[in-house]
Amino acid sequence: MDCIKTGSLIRRLRTELGLTQRQLAESIGVSDKAVSKWERSLGCPDISLLSPLARQLGVTPETLLQGEMQESLLVGGNMKNTSFYICPTCGNLIMATSPAQLSCCGKLLEPMAPQKAEREGKLQVQQVEDEWFITSGHPMDKENYITFVALLSGGKLQVIRQYPEWELQLRLSRREHGKLIWHSLKDGLFYQLI
């Protein structure tokens, strides 16, 4: 931990939030002198204070350790570039349209790279009026099922969560063509163009 960078970041975040040193100190159970010391780079917060301090300042403990905010580049509004993060512990689905550092259940998540579905593994897609009717012969039991299906197209994202022991039959609005993405609990993330 670089005390100069971390102290400077603490000061910046505290002032952005409109907090005094005393208010920040009281919220995490230290003296205002301790906060002043950190901000003047005369010391660093104790490791046991990183999580509550980060929570108060609205950042991750890792950000405080690094002493700088990682800015994301604006990459436009194309939803086809969406990254999918799936927590291996609870199954939480998180999506981001540009690179992000995300965690769930205390674990840092990596974006899943979708694999192109082979012919036999593709979802069956039919056009029915102004909708896509999607079905699959994929097993839908508790050990192996499709957890979600998403349609990415231009500036739109449609996501439908699936559950074990439900037959996969769904309809998605057919506004335009796009990338159909789905996640198999056992086999991973797949895509096909429709």
> Do 156 and 61 share a domain, yes or no?
no
- The Cα–Cα gap between 84 and 149 comes to 12
> Considering just the CA atoms, what is the radius of gyration of the chain in Å?
23
Helix axes 21-28, 50-57, angle to 10 degrees: 130
- Identify the CATH number of the domain in which residue 171 sits: 2.60.40.730
pLDDT at 15 over 90: yes
Q: What is the mean pLDDT of the chain?
A: 88
Structural domain harbouring 33: 3-66
> Do 23 and 94 share a domain, yes or no?
no
- Identify the CATH number of the domain in which residue 58 sits: 1.10.260.40
The pLDDT tens digits for 99-149 are 788 889 988 899 999 999 998 889 999 999 888 899 998 889 988 999 999
Q: Which among 172, 173, 174 is positioned nearest to 182, based on CA atoms? A: 172
Q: Which of 21, 42, 66 is the last residue of a domain?
A: 66
Q: Is residue 74 part of a domain?
A: no
> Do 169 and 87 share a domain, yes or no?
yes
Q: Is residue 73 part of a domain?
A: no
> Do 95 and 152 share a domain, yes or no?
yes
